[in-house]
């Protein structure tokens, strides 16, 4: 049984659960993050999720209403940036990764859905707006 405890405590097992802040975290703005969440054509967040302070939202993904009380900023960042790291079968897009993407239109190849600043702005909004 001790091998199981060692495995569960292994830092490498949990290393991909979180993504460190980008340099743009220093200038993150919750209001810009709110606007990005509302921009269904740009982010699509509210197609699947509900978020605090926003009346419309889908029910396919988990609610984001109290995400800041459940997850650290680093964990939220990882889940937005590339949720495939945590769940390879997820249907949520990788918003800040181009790794492993196929059949991407030529003008979009090598580009992420969100900019670094947009990623940090969304996180700022989610952290500022608890239930």
Q: Kindly report the CATH number assigned to the domain that includes residue 121.
A: 1.10.760.10
Q: Write down the pLDDT at residue 130.
A: 61
Query: Using an 8 Å Cβ cutoff, are 107 and 9 in contact?
Result: no
For residues 18-35, give the mean pLDDT.
Answer: 96
Question: Is 102 inside a domain boundary?
Answer: yes
Answer yes or no: is 76 within a domain: yes
**Integer Cα distance of 90 and 108 in angstroms:** 22
Give the pLDDT confidence score for residue 9 in this predicted structure.
Answer: 43
Residue 93 has pLDDT above 70, yes or no: yes
Q: How many domains does the chain have?
A: 1
What's the pLDDT score for residue 97? 95
| Structure confidence at residue 1 (pLDDT) | 41
56 in a structural domain: yes
pLDDT at 51: 86
Phi/psi for 105 (5° steps) reads -55, 140
52 neighbors 64 (Cβ within 8 angstroms)? yes
Examine residue 92 and state whether it is found in any structural domain, yes or no.
yes
Highest mean pLDDT among 1-5, 20-24, 101-105: 20-24
Among candidates 90, 75, 83, 91, which has minimal Cα distance to 20? 75
15 located within any domain: no
Domain membership of residue 84 as a residue range: 28-128
- What is the predicted pLDDT for the residue at 95? 95
Higher pLDDT, 78 or 66: 78
- The label of the residue with tokens 């060692």 reads 6
Task: Name the pTM for this structure.
Answer: 0.84
């Amino acid at each position: 049984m001790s091998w199981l405890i060692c495995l569960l405590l292994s830092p490498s097992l949990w290393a991909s659960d979180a993504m460190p802040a980008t340099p743009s975290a220093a200038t993150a703005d919750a209001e810009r993050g709110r606007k990005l969440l509302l921009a269904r054509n740009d982010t699509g967040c509210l197609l699947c999720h509900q978020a605090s302070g926003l009346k419309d939202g889908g029910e396919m993904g988990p609610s984001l209403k109290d995400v800041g009380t459940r997850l650290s900023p680093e964990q939220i960042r990882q889940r937005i940036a590339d949720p495939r790291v945590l769940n390879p079968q997820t249907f949520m897009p990788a918003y800040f990764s181009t790794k492993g993407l196929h059949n991407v239109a030529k003008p979009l190849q090598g580009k992420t859905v969100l900019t670094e600043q947009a990623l940090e702005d969304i996180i700022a909004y989610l952290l500022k707006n608890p239930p």
